[in-house]
Amino acid sequence: MVKKLVMLLVVLSLVACASAGKRIERTHIDEVSNGAQDKAQIRQWFGEPYTMKTIVGHPAGCVERWTYEYAKAQGFGKVTYSEILVVDFDSKGKVCDHAFSKSGTE
């Protein structure tokens, strides 16, 4: 009986999946444009960022970075899908740089 229970737990752990972060809303990804949107617009489109930090020495003069992240893992924590949106803002709160990428299969 114990052997069967252990085998069941092993099988369940292999097929279980987990996620981290919040899925990124892609409706407005292509609309993000340097100098066009401000922090309020980005927050309205994508919600609260996963992380926010001050940046120094950005070539375009950006001073703040908002990062949106989502990852999905299966089995023993192997990431099978991830997506990240990075939006940088200038001192006036306008988008000055941005990038979106995804990898893996959903």
Spatial CA neighbour of 66 closest among 45, 105, 27, 19: 45
* Mean of per-residue pLDDT scores for the chain: 82
What is the rounded CA–CA span in Å between residue 40 and residue 62? 17
What is the per-residue pLDDT for 72?
83
Token output for 96? 């000055």
Residue-number span of the structural domain to which 91 is assigned: 2-104
**In CATH, what number is assigned to the domain containing residue 18?**
3.30.1450.10
Per-residue confidence at 105, pLDDT binned at 50, 70, 90?
A: confident
More confident residue, 12 or 37: 37
Whose structure tokens read 């092993």? 10
Per-residue confidence at 59, pLDDT binned at 50, 70, 90?
A: confident
What is the per-residue pLDDT for 8?
35
Spatial CA neighbour of 95 closest among 104, 87, 105: 87
Query: What's the structural domain count of the chain?
Result: 1
